[in-house]
Amino acid sequence: MFALTQHFPHKRAFITGAASGLGKALSLHLAKDGWTIGISDVNTEALQHTYNEVEQAGGKPISFQLDVSDKEAYKQVAAEFLKQTDGIDLLVNNAGVGDGGNFEEYPLENWEWMVRINQMSVVYGCHLFIPTFKKQQSGHILNIASLAAVSCAPQMGAYNMTKAAVVAISETLYGELMDDNIGVSCAMPSYFQTNIAESVRGGDRIKKITQVFIKKSNLQADAVAKEILERTGKRELYIVLPKMARKLWLFKRLMPTRLRKMVKEKYMQAIGRIQ
């Protein structure tokens, strides 16, 4: 049993991007502890599979088709979830897309698309659910960022920026909400096995580079989700994983310029593998 389950006996969670990858894995882990889970995603077909698996695992799923970049749609979904559950204990802002390209060549429309999904959806989720958290004087917000917020590899400007923003949002809320007994955690995992490469708009080259890093990783979404939930239960603000990622995070704090050169070298090596 997760510590989160002991902290929140009502066991009510709302998770975005729950149809696949980390969102699905988080949902299934909570389901084993009997949580009521609002699972949301833009992909309704895949979301139905998550619904079935959550139910089979012992959870109580409530399914919502949701484009997290649509502010008005998010308002309606949040209101409906709260109506059905009479509160919320855990908000997981997980939905996101990945992409890349040279800074000046990456279309401005794609910058805006990335910001709406990766950054503004986190703002929407927190903005819509915090009043209920404050009324309850309890709850926890888990924002999923990425190690990209620290590593800031070349040709990933939009993605790096939005994930760094998620870290800043989390740090701000940690200070604002601590006196209301509301916890905030920000997860920053490195690459792990997921389908994020399917969302890229930057072309086949960027997709192949992303796939190189994903295939190189031995991390599975299930293990990442388990560690994130365990550390969220400890009310950790920064959840950086795995161990290698924590070393890189420390490296940035101690030798930031040297890290920039190291990341560039690793990126160029990845490019070399697809040429």
- Coil, helix or strand for 159? helix
Which CATH number covers residue 201?
3.40.50.720
Residue range 73-84, pLDDT digits in tens: 999 999 999 999
Distance CA 142, CA 88 (A): 13
Residue range 187-206, pLDDT digits in tens: 999 866 555 545 555 555 55
Distance CA 11, CA 23 (A): 17
Q: How confident is the model at residue 220 (pLDDT cuts 50, 70, 90)?
A: confident
Residue in this structure with the two tokens 């204990």, named with its chain if needed:
89
pLDDT higher than threshold 80 for residue 20: yes
Residues ≥6 apart with Cβ < 8 Å to 115: 158, 161, 162
Q: Domain residues for 72?
A: 3-274
Is the omega angle on the peptide bond into residue 242 within 30 degrees of 0, that is, cis? yes
Is residue 183 within 8 A of residue 142, CB to CB? The reply is no
Structural domains counted in the chain: 1
